[in-house]
Amino acid sequence: MEYGKARDVFYQPAHPYSIGLLNAVPRLDAEGESLLTIPGNPPNLLRLPKGCPFQPRCPHAMEICNSAPPLEAFAPGRLRACYKPLEELV
C-alpha cells in the first residue's frame, strides 16, 4: 500500500491506511481523550477483497478501488498503491 523510509511514512503518510494507523497512535499529550480508530475489521487474509485490501474500511473509497491499484512511485524512494490523488488526502 505504501513503501518508503520510516521517517517519510511517519511524517508524510501517503495512503489512507497509513494515515488511519498514525491517527490511531495514542498521544502522550492527550491524557483522557478518546482514541481514534479505523472503523471495521481487518480483512480475512485467506479471502482478501477484490482490489485494494483497505477499500471496505477506507473513508476515501471509490468504485475504482474494487480493482487493484498499481504500486507507483510518487517521490524518490516512495511508492504507493492508491487511486485517490495524494493532494486530496491532506
Residue found under cell 494507523:
21
pLDDT of residue 5: 98
User: Quick one: pLDDT at residue 58?
Assistant: 95
Alpha-carbon torsion 48, 54, 56, 60, what sign? Answer: negative
Q: What does pTM read for this prediction?
A: 0.86
From residue 90, alpha-carbon distances to 1, 29, 50, 51, 66 in Å are 17, 23, 26, 23, 23
d(CA 17, CA 82): 10
**Which DSSP letter does residue 85 get?**
-
Per-residue pLDDT of the chain (90 residues; tens, 9 = 90+): 899 999 999 999 999 999 999 999 988 887 777 888 999 999 899 988 889 999 999 999 999 999 999 999 999 999 999 999 999 986
